[in-house]
Chains A and B, each alone.
Chain A
Amino acid sequence: MTLPRLLAGTREDRPLSLVEHLELHGPGPPDGPHLIETVERAGLRGRGGASFPVAVKLRSVARRRGPRALLVNAAEGEPMSAKDAVLLQSAPHLVLDGAMAAAAAVGARSVVIAIPDDAEATRDALRHAIGERAANRRLTVADVPVAYLAGEESALIAHLDGGPLKPTVVPPLPAERGLRRRPTLVQNPETLAHLALIARHGPEWFRETGTHAHPGSALITVSGAIGWPGVREIACGAPLASVLDGALEPLRAVLVGGCHGVWIAGEEIEATTLDDIGLARHGGRLGAGVVVALGRSACPAQELARTVGYLAEQSAGQCGPCRNGLPALADLLAAMVAGRAPRDSRRRLERWSRDLIGRGACHLPDGSVRLLESGLRVFAAELADHEREGPCLACRRNPTLSFTRARWNVAA
């Protein structure tokens, strides 16, 4: 078991060239439908957030008729994630290899890579890498606005097809009707990079690291009260504590999974592992690998309220429950934190949250409720204090969670 895999041999100052990439990883094997079975045996799960089994998606697109498409979803709408940008800026050929192999396996003729419109370094790295390769007529890079919902696949597809960046009702799934109404495989860049290595080295090799239920390695974006924030590659199932070694102070909690993630209380850190099973105990999953450390000097009530406020702003405003419910939750929580809310607010917050689940076209309400309910549980004491006494001293400090993209470095 050697790590890093995806970030092996990468450098901070520029992407690996095609020659360097081939020296490191060797040439890719011949393409073909057998890849699907290989990926299935590897047990690869999507690294975009939902942890969906990749082979199931590959198969459901491969069995469709007519022209099919591959959409590489590098929108990275989660503001505290940077791993897709770092991967594309360090090892673009690994992602392109995976994209071409997946496209061949499902019979996709066109490949679109969607990146945030402000991601200049990513765009440059991709353009250059595509130029280094032969026969890339089917490969295009498309810009999407920076927004939380930019990574929501139905919204992304609607936008790329010339519509608004707003989710559509599912079904049909992208595998049934996606880009230009074609059956579309949507995959995250990290997922495709793993796939490229699985195609080379096989499923047994992939399983040499990680856990049985959650095999392989994963890219993690660590930020917050951490001395060296950045992106690193871990074995799935690694202790949560192992990515927090740079903590600047004792931690009150760790947010795992980003804005739709869950809070792990400080005293639970030692017992928590970074894999879907380990995080399921807390109602979460590894998702896109976002880890944010919240120090004891921060105000968790304030951080929770800010996060819910951010999510409410990200609503596309299409569905009544989300359009009304998320701002109402955010406002009520903000009022509670400010000590200005009526007495029964907590119960009302819980009822509104419960009622929201499953009532949007996309999972924005569900994910927001997951984060909120987790925060209400873990920070119950602080919230009760704020409801009674209003803002605390820490409320005025600079917040820990950031919803605007920062510059990140690889900390392998």
Chain B
Amino acid sequence: MTAYLRVDPIACSGHGLCAELFPEWIELDDWGYPIVDRGPIPEELLVHARRAADACPKLALALRAELLR
């Protein structure tokens, strides 16, 4: 399965936990909001991606099977 990380930008409030947990894929902009790599996540990094998504206090980060936009 190819997986992608997707942010719901309305729900996201910039806690920044995701960037701490998955810095290989997520960095924060100058205001603390995540910039997420849009590419497919390699198998070996999936566990980090899942942890980052699960940690989001706003449920704004999701792991998806397809790139929606």
Contacts and interface: CB of A to CB of B under 8 A. Distances in A.
Judged by DSSP, the binding face of A is loop
Interface stretch (A133-141, A166-174, A208-216, A289-297): A166-174
B26 to A, nearest CB: 12
Contacts of B7: 359
Contacts of B38: 358
Nearest to B68: A171
A321 interface: yes
A359 to B, nearest CB: 6
Contacts of A324: 29-31, 33
A169 B10 CA distance: 7
Interface string B25-60: 000011111010010000000000000000000000
Interface size class, chain A: 10 to 19
Contact of A318 (B10, B31, B68, B69): B10
Nearest to A322: B9
Contact of B9 (A328, A352, A355, A361): A361
B31 A325 contact: yes
A360 B30 CA distance: 16
Contacts of B30: 324, 328, 352
B8 interface: yes
Contacts of B29: 321, 324-325, 352, 355
B12 interface: yes
**B interface, by DSSP: helix, strand, loop or mixed?**
loop
A320 interface: yes
A319 interface: yes
A322 B9 CA distance: 9
A319 B68 contact: no
A361 B6 CA distance: 12
Given A170-B69, A171-B68, A321-B29, A355 B35 contact: yes
A359 B35 contact: yes
A168 B29 CA distance: 22
Contacts of A328: 30-31
Interface string A341-378: 00000000000100100111100000000000000000
Nearest to B11: A169
Contacts of B32: 320
Nearest to B13: A320
Q: Which of A170, A319, A352 has the most CB of B within 10 A?
A: A319
Contacts of B12: 319-320
Contact of A361 (B10, B35, B68): B10
Given A171-B69, A320-B14, A324-B29, 7 more contacts: A169-B10, A169-B11, A170-B69, A318-B9, A319-B9, A321-B33, A355-B35
